[in-house]
Structure formats: C-alpha cells, structure tokens
Amino acid sequence: MKTTNWIQQADQALKRASVRARNVAANTNTPLHLIRDGKIVRITPAGDPPATATKRP
C-alpha cells in the first residue's frame, strides 16, 4: 500500500500553490499574509523576484 504517495503529492501541490500565490500578489501589487514563528506577518512580494515552480513529473 502506498500511503506516503498522496502525502508527497499534497506537499508538492501546496508548494505550487504557494508559488502561484506569490506571483499573483507580485503582479497585482497586493500583500501576502504568512505565519512566521507563530505570528501573522504581512509581506509585499513586489520587491522579491518572481518565484519559480518546480516541474511536475
């Protein structure tokens, strides 16, 4: 039984979603809200270079 396969796929999907969210925020000049060290922080990705997604297998 492949129990870890769906976990790996979910992890990859979350990473792709994160990249897309950062790119959309950069393109629309809107902030992102993240949890860092247990606190909600607001970042503006406009100054960051666009994130790149990893290729899907």
pLDDT digits (tens, 9 = 90+) for 24-34: 998 998 999 98
| Alpha-carbon gap, residue 38 to 28, rounded angstroms | 27
Q: Which residues contact 30 (CB under 8 A, 6 or more apart)?
A: 24
On whether residue 22 sits in a domain, the answer given is: yes
Query: How high is the mean pLDDT of the chain?
Result: 81
The tokens for 50 are: 């666009």
| Alpha-carbon gap, residue 43 to 33, rounded angstroms | 6
On whether residue 55 sits in a domain, the answer given is: no
DSSP H helices in 1-57: 4-28
- pLDDT of 1 over the 50 cut: no
Backbone angles phi, psi at 39, to 5 degrees: -120, 145
On whether residue 35 sits in a domain, the answer given is: yes
pTM of the model: 0.64
Range of the domain at 20: 4-47
